[in-house]
Amino acid sequence: MRLAELQRELCAALQSPTPVPRDPRTATLAERLVGARGQLTPAAQLEIYRAQFFYRHLDAIAEDFPALVEALGWEAFEEHARAYLAAHPPASPSLRELAARLPGFLAARIEPAWADLARLEWALVEAFDAADLPPLDTSAVTLAADALDRARLVLDPSLSRLRLSAPVHEVRARLVDGERVAPPISRATCLVVYRQRLELMWREVPPLALDALDALAGGRPLAEALDELSARSSPEEAETLEREIGGWFGEWVSDGWIREVLPADGGA
């Protein structure tokens, strides 16, 4: 057996949900490759490594989703996490991206509110690891009104914009503390997750404010993005946008959500 083939066979064996002694193909592979050691058969020795593959990766996932573990209970969480690892085995030596696809994987498997909780917890992971940008120097923003309309805003890299089916952020702390909590009642919820200095934060915002952030996140000119949003909104929403956008901008700058204002001919 060539080295590459051997590596593929062992990788498949270690990532299999079936214990080695109960898998004839893998047990035969173990007999060929693993020497006897004490009272442990070759299959039993390889099984130690197969089991540890799952336990170590389960622990890594659980560390990123502490509230989800409490919401589901360990047994149910482990069942879903094992299924996830079987469907999406690690593709990198780093554990950083191990659970990146877990929220989407769970969407059709668990209570919608708890699937949203998984989305919130992954957003917190991403906010924690996001790059740092210096705060916006408002004194340096001296663009004229027409130039400001053509300017592009750079949002903080830690910012995640979530549209949730329930206000799961209201129960997360209780879950992390080990309290048993029923799924919150369904209510459309718009949440912004971000990091402020070294603290992870979130804030519930009006749907229209989240739409505005979405419009600006693509790097389009300020006036163009807002005009398009206004055009596809209802007359009442367009009026609200015009009335509230100035106050929202002030809050976003104050909270560090806007990190840079690039003139029309500025950098990417």
Enumerate the β-bridge partners of residue 160.
193
Q: What is the dihedral of CA 197, 68, 181, 160, to 10 degrees?
A: 40
CA 8 – CA 216 distance, rounded (Å) = 45
User: What are the 10-residue block averages of pLDDT along the chain, 268 residues in total?
Assistant: 83 84 87 79 87 89 97 96 90 90 97 98 97 85 72 94 98 96 96 94 97 92 93 96 93 93 68
Predicted confidence at residue 217, as pLDDT, reads 93
- Where do the structural domains in the chain lie, given as residue ranges? 1-110, 112-268
10 Å CB burial of residue 185 (0-12, 13-18, 19+) is exposed
Predicted confidence at residue 228, as pLDDT, reads 94
Predicted confidence at residue 268, as pLDDT, reads 43
**Is there a contact between 264 and 151 (Cβ–Cβ < 8 Å)?**
yes
**Is there a contact between 189 and 166 (Cβ–Cβ < 8 Å)?**
yes
Looking from the CA of 156 toward its CB, the CA atoms found within 13 Å total 27
Predicted confidence at residue 48, as pLDDT, reads 87
String of b and e for 231-244 (b: at least 16 CB within 10 Å)? eeeeeebbebbeee
CA 67 – CA 116 distance, rounded (Å) = 11
* pTM given for the model: 0.85
Concatenate the DSSP letters of all residues of the chain into one string. Answer: --HHHHHHHHHHHHT-SS-GGG-HHHHHHHHHH---BTTB-HHHHHHHHHHHHHHHHHHHHHHH-HHHHHHH-HHHHHHHHHHHHHHS---SSSSTTTTTTHHHHHTTTS-HHHHHHHHHHHHHHHHHHPPP-PPP-GGG----HHHHHT-EEEEPTT-EEEEESS-GGGTHHHHHTT---PPPPP--EEEEEEEETTEEEEEE--HHHHHHHHHHHT---HHHHHHHHHHTS-HHHHHHHHHHHHHHHHHHHHTT-EEEEE-TTS--
Predicted confidence at residue 144, as pLDDT, reads 62
**Is there a contact between 10 and 34 (Cβ–Cβ < 8 Å)?**
no
Q: Which two tokens stand for residue 126?
A: 């991403």
Which residues 6+ apart lie within 8 Å of 244 measured at CB?
206, 208, 209
Predicted confidence at residue 145, as pLDDT, reads 66
